[in-house]
Amino acid sequence: MRVLEEPGSQPTATPCGCVKPALETGNLLTEPIGYLESCFSAKNGTPRQPSICSHSRACLRIRKSIFNNPEHSLMGLEQFSHVWVLFVFHKNGHLSCKAKVQPPRLNGAKTGVFSTRSPHRPNAIGLTLAKLEKVEGGAMYLSGIDMIHGTPVLDIKPYIAEYDSPQNLIEPLQDFNLQNSQYKPPNTSQANGKTDSCDQRQLSRCDKPQACSHTKEKPKCPEDRTSGENYMKHDNSTKIQQKFPQHREIAADLGLESRSDQSLSVAEERIGPCCLEKSISEEDTEKRLTVIAQGNSAEMHPVAPPCPSRMADAARHSVVPAWVREAPVATLEVRFTPHAETDLKRLSSEGEPDGSQPSFKYFQSAEEARHAIEAMLSADPRSVYRRKLCQDRLFYFTVDIAHVTCWFGDGFAEVLRIKPASEPVQMTDPEESLVSLGS
Ligand SMILES: C[S@@+](CC[C@H](N)C(=O)[O-])C[C@H]1O[C@@H](n2cnc3c(N)ncnc32)[C@H](O)[C@@H]1O
């Protein structure tokens, strides 16, 4: 194997004579394409991953200093449902990082920084998969985010399941004989030595059935999502998980359905939609999976003898260490005191004098705000330190215009008070106006 020599860190001179950090050395000078307007104003209480709170919303406006016509850069993006957001953890406080970190899920134990999603890494770059709600001019509206207000965004890329998810490989692996490693081409065009080009793959999404029949889902034509009216109040009821209702039922049948969606997604990811379908389509109704309850998590082991398709399924699905799935802390029950309930109602009706319009900037209703608060708290947003040593301390966070005060007891979080956020969010980019949170 060729060893790559580390290039010198000398800056290179461009033809025009100016000195720029060299791309070749990886010394990239970044310039944010925009600064995120997010419903989270501070790190405290912000979900640790985007999947935790589907109602969390944000807007990204492409800066005019990047493109004269920002809307040109977003052309075509509205045809995608999800985007990767690359951003800077600008509120890390410092640049240094450690080789080993303590992710909250490991409850104090250490692991290598590159095996985690820790914000503290050599290059403070974050990666979030967000739902793209709408594109409007030079702005895109996102949901399911875990970044705070003012986060500098470096890049946006469309999420393409066919490229980005092992579960969605274009070529089914059923014909891949794992024992003799002989690959049988799945169709004639490939048998002729031709493979689909990237462009063909993309175009085929709408025109013809996809090769992978995992989800039994009909391919969808992208709808024009530029025309919606008000993004921030967009109906966000369609969740990705709803694409697999049959899997939900089966998982429930297997005793995996839980109050949160966590165990189910574990089931789906562990054995995959294909396996789940197979386990009931076979006449033998004996459960082919053993469910071993471990605390609040469920682990599944296939007990049937491995068959080629099962092995192919295993090869197709991604693998993660157990600690990622087995949260050391239970999902918390979230309660609101009567006082907090009243606060929430008052806050949501303060927008209009007659109380007809909610005053939230990102949430559509008090109910949605409530769901978001529940989602954030049930995932226990406290640091390991706080969880272990400051159990009895009050916990505060701000989401949208709500400043939430709560406390944690054994297995629950209780919201005590919700008042209007008083601190306006500091702007990161002075040239551009961001949505200001707070009153
Ligand atoms: C664990 S990181 C994961 C981010 C991303 N999904 C990833 O995997 O790279 C998410 C946490 O980063 C913190 N965070 C979000 N935006 C930040 C920012 N701009 N600067 C520093 N920390 C931030 C919040 O505390 C949030 O809970």
Which CATH number characterizes residue 87's domain?
Answer: 2.40.30.70
26 with 149, same domain: the answer is yes
In a domain, 439, yes or no: no
Residue that finishes a domain, picked among 164, 192, 217: 164
Calculate the alpha carbon distances from 179 to 135, 302, 322 in Å. Answer: 48, 19, 27
Q: Nearest 5°: CA angle at 361, between 243 and 68?
A: 85
Pocket test for ligand 1, best of 85, 115, 148 (most atoms within 8 A of CB): 148
Ligand 1 pocket test, pick from 147, 398, 428, 434 with the greatest ligand atom count within 8 Å of Cβ, gives 147
Q: How far is the CA of 326 from the centre of ligand 1 (A)?
A: 21
**What contacts 178, CB < 8 A, 6 or more positions away?**
308, 311, 312, 315
Asked if residue 339 belongs to a domain, the reply is yes
Are 298 and 266 a contacting pair, CB within 8 Å? Answer: yes
Q: Is 89 in the pocket of ligand 1 (CB under 6 A)?
A: yes
Cα of 120 from ligand 1 centre, angstroms: 9
Q: Is the CB of 150 under 6 A from ligand 1?
A: no
Strand, helix or coil for residue 88:
strand
In the reported structure, the alpha carbon of residue 50 is separated from the centroid of ligand 1 by a whole-number distance in angstroms of 9
Can you tell me the ipTM of this complex?
A: 0.99
Evaluate: CB of 128 within 6 angstroms of ligand 1. Answer: yes
- Domain boundary (164, 192, 219) is at 164
Question: Contact 418/404 with Cβ under 8 angstroms?
Answer: yes
Per-residue pLDDT of the chain (439 residues; tens, 9 = 90+): 666 666 655 555 555 555 566 788 888 889 999 999 999 999 988 998 888 888 899 999 999 999 999 999 999 999 999 999 999 999 998 887 899 998 888 888 899 999 999 999 999 999 999 999 999 999 999 999 999 999 999 999 999 999 998 877 655 555 444 444 444 444 433 333 333 333 333 333 333 333 333 333 333 444 445 443 344 544 443 333 333 333 333 333 333 333 333 333 333 333 333 333 333 333 333 333 333 233 333 333 333 444 556 556 655 678 888 888 776 567 899 999 999 999 998 887 765 555 555 588 898 888 889 999 999 999 889 888 888 887 778 999 999 999 999 999 989 999 999 999 875 444 444 344 333 333 2
Whose CA is closest to 228, among 142, 156, 139, 133? Answer: 133
- Residues 25 and 100 occupy one common structural domain: yes
Q: How big is the chain by its Cα radius of gyration, in Å?
A: 24
250 and 344, same domain (yes or no): no
Q: How far, rounded to the nearest angstrom, does the alpha carbon of residue 381 sit from its chain's CA centroid? A: 16
Is the minimum distance from the CB of 38 to ligand 1 under 6 angstroms?
A: no
C-beta separation of 287 from 276 below 8 A: no
Is 231 near ligand 1, meaning CB less than 6 Å away? no
Task: Among 164, 181, 215, give the residue marking a domain's end.
Answer: 164
Q: Closest Cα to atom 26, ligand 1: which residue?
A: 48
Alpha-carbon distance 98 to 133, whole Å?
36
**Does residue 48's CB lie within 6 angstroms of at least one atom of ligand 1?**
yes
Distance CA 142, CA 68 (A): 23
Q: Which atom of ligand 1 is found nearest the CA of 148? A: 16
From residue 358, give the alpha-carbon distance in Å to each of 96, 139, 361, 366, 436. Answer: 43, 23, 9, 7, 17
Identify whether the C-beta of residue 97 lies closer than 8 Å to the C-beta of residue 133: no
In a domain, 174, yes or no: no
Query: Could you tell me if the CB of 387 is within 6 A of ligand 1?
Result: no
Query: Are residue 290 and residue 344 in the same domain, yes or no?
Result: no
The CATH number of the domain where 393 resides is what?
Answer: 3.30.2310
Instruction: Tell me if 184 is assigned to some domain.
Output: no
Whether 256 and 397 share a structural domain: no
Q: What is the pLDDT of residue 435?
A: 36
Whether 226 maps to a domain, the answer reads no
Please report whether residue 27 resides in a domain: yes
- Neighbour tally for 45: CB within 10 Å: 21
Tell me if 40 CB under 6 Å of ligand 1. no
Q: How far is the CA of 103 from the centre of ligand 1 (A)?
A: 12
Residues 136 and 17 in one domain: yes
Please give the single-letter amino acid code of residue 124: A
Range of the domain at 289: 239-317
Contacts of residue 141, defined as CB under 8 A and 6 or more positions apart, other chains included, come to 57, 58, 59, 132, 133, 134, 135, 231, 232, 234
- Are 131 and 142 in contact, with CB atoms under 8 Å apart? yes
Domain presence at residue 173: no
Query: Is residue 146 lining ligand 1, measured as CB closer than 6 Å?
Result: yes
90 with 25, same domain: the answer is yes
My answer on whether 159 and 257 are in the same domain is no
CA of 124 from ligand 1 middle (Å) equals 10
DSSP 304-358: SPP-HHHHHHHHHS----HHHHS-SSPPPEEEE-HHHHHHHHHHHT-SSTTS-S-
397 with 283, same domain: the answer is no
Question: From the CB of 43, is ligand 1 less than 6 Å away?
Answer: yes
As for how many domains the chain has, the answer is 3
Distance 329 CA to ligand 1 centre (A): 20
268 with 345, same domain: the answer is no
> Are 250 and 300 found together in one domain?
yes
Q: Identify whether 433 is part of a domain.
A: no
Shared-domain flag, residues 302 and 339: no
